[in-house]
């Protein structure tokens, strides 16, 4: 009983930290509420600031990518309860993001500073991006994505192999709605400074690389079924004209049968 209570408590703490850090990140990028923002006053030399910011972004990228690897997950499960493996990932992500938000070093000047109707449109797009990213976590499984389900806050879903690819709802519009929302939130701003641009460019590069690996894994799992899906639904930007792809009928069976957590990881989690 005490072990279950500990799992519930730690996972709830990780989820609460996730919520706080996400709200903090919104204020950090929007330049409101929080004391230190992405384009605040410079506190050090440009060279040191750029190096520090790239290091903080790299720390998040390494943590997010390494801890998502199957080998690392297996290593963790031998040392902590399996129910807390995802919670550990969320806690580590919280720590890395807090470090970035606290230690970020603004530098450079403003690239653009818009007001009036243009500012309203950009703020609206930014808000829509955050809303899309949050909604996408529920379109997959918010409780599992944040570790609450595994820790016992909700019944565990079956781990039996499945063959159905998630193509409904948000996934009928873009293949990676979570990433679409995040990129929109990062770029849609009426006030873009040099350090915000660095954050947006580095984050976009990480998303692009991570998405390439995710697409590779999904094609290995679903074979031509995913090829057909990718031929009709754009990856990130809704409404893009798609290139027609001939899908052999004989190849329509998935190359291998993934487990549910693999499908959710491929279409719902951040890139890795």
**pLDDT tens digit sequence for 207-253:** 999 999 889 989 998 999 999 999 999 999 998 776 654 444 444 44
Tokens of 269: 């989690």
CA 95 to chain centre: 15
Extract the residue ranges of the chain whose pLDDT is less than 50: 1, 245-255, 257-272
Mind listing the pLDDT tens digit for each residue in 21-48? Answer: 999 999 999 999 999 999 999 999 999 9
Which pLDDT belongs to residue 254?
A: 47
User: Residue 265: its pLDDT value, please?
Assistant: 39
Residue 2's pLDDT is 78
Q: In Å, how far from its chain's centre is CA 175? A: 13
pLDDT of residue 262: 43
Of 166, 180, 183, the residue nearest 239 (C-alpha): 180
3-state secondary structure the chain: CHHHHHHHHHHHHHHHHHHHHHHHHHHHHHCCCCCCCCCCCCCCCHHHHHHHHHHHHHHHHHHHHHCCCHHHHHHHHCCCCHHHHHHHHHHHHHHHHHHHHHHCCCCCCEEEECCCHHHHHHHHHHHHHHHHHHHHHHHHCHHHHCCHHHHCCCCCCCCCCCCCCCCCHHHHCCCCHHHHHHHHHHHCCCEEEHHHHHHHHHHHHHHHHHHHHHHHHHHHHHCHHHHHHHHHCCCCCCCCCCCCCCCCHHHCCCCCCCCHHHHHHHHHCCCC
CA distance 83 to 143: 13
Is residue 203 within 8 Å of 238, Cβ to Cβ? Answer: no
Task: Give the pLDDT confidence score for residue 19 in this predicted structure.
Answer: 97
CB-CB contact of 182 with 129 (8 Å): yes
Say what the pLDDT of residue 68 is.
87
Residue 16 tokens read as: 């609460």
pLDDT at residue 161 in the model: 53
Tokens of 230: 């990718």
220: Cα within 13 Å, side-chain hemisphere: 10
Global pTM reads 0.86
- Quick one: which of 105, 75, 104, 76 has its CA closest to 90? 76
């Amino acid at each position: 009983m005490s072990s279950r209570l500990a799992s519930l408590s730690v996972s709830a703490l990780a989820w609460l930290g996730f919520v706080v850090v996400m709200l903090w990140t919104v204020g950090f990028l929007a330049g409101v509420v929080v004391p230190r923002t992405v384009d605040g006053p410079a506190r050090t030399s440009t060279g040191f600031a750029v190096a520090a910011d790239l290091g903080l972004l790299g720390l998040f990228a390494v943590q997010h990518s390494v801890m998502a690897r199957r080998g690392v997950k297996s290593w963790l499960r031998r040392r902590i309860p399996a129910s807390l493996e995802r919670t550990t990932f969320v806690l580590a992500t919280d720590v890395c993001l807090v470090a970035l938000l606290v230690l970020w070093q603004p530098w450079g000047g403003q690239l653009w500073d818009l007001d009036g109707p243009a500012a309203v449109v950009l703020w609206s797009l930014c808000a829509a991006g955050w809303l899309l990213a949050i909604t996408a976590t529920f379109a997959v499984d918010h409780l599992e994505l944040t570790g609450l389900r595994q820790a016992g806050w909700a019944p565990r879903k079956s781990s039996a192999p499945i063959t159905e690819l998630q193509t409904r709802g948000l996934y009928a519009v873009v293949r990676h709605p979570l990433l679409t929302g995040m990129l929109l939130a990062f770029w849609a701003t009426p006030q873009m400074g040099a350090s915000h641009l660095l954050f947006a460019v580095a984050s976009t590069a990480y998303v692009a690389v991570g998405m390439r690996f995710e697409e590779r894994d999904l094609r290995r799992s679903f074979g031509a079924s995913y090829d057909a899906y990718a031929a009709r639904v754009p990856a990130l930007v809704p409404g893009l004209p798609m290139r027609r792809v001939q899908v052999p009928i004989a190849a329509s069976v998935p190359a291998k049968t993934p487990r549910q957590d693999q499908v959710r990881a491929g279409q719902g989690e951040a890139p890795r």
